[in-house]
Amino acid sequence: MTGFVASTFDLLHAGHCLYLKDAKRICDYLIAALQTNPTLDRPEKNRPIQTTKERRTQLEACKYVDEIVEYSAEEDLNNILKKIKPDIRILGSDCKSREWMTGQEYCSQIYYHSRDHNWSSTELIERIKNS
């Protein structure tokens, strides 16, 4: 079973690791889609602090990730999902309230990862600023 996650994975932290670990638990092969710059089609998002190469290198070192694909905009993500047609797409529980997700018609199942922690890139940035 092929699983699919998508994120910017900026400042890879424990929350990302739990997400990837949970995703790998429910699939045999995990594809991580790495968004190069989320501000291209969502200006309200933060520009990544780390370069794409840094973020890719961290994902490559993660034992839960089998393959990495890069994308820029939601249209690119849609095209990747259309081509791959993963068995299961793993999303954060914060996505449950959305009526529609990019490329959902190309995924057989949707699984929502329970985010029962407070780790986030924003929280990490604040801790760094305050130390």
pLDDT at 76: 95
Read off the pLDDT of each residue in 73-77 and give the average, rounded to a whole number: 93
Question: Which domains can be identified in the chain, with CATH numbers?
Answer: 2-129 (3.40.50.620)
In the chain, count H helices and then E strands.
4, 5
* Mean pLDDT of all residues belonging to the chain: 88
pLDDT for residue 96 is more than 60: no
- In contact, 75 and 83? CB cutoff 8 Å: no
pLDDT at 22: 95
Local confidence band at 43 (pLDDT 50, 70, 90 cut-offs):
confident
pLDDT for residue 51 is more than 80: yes
Record the pTM: 0.87
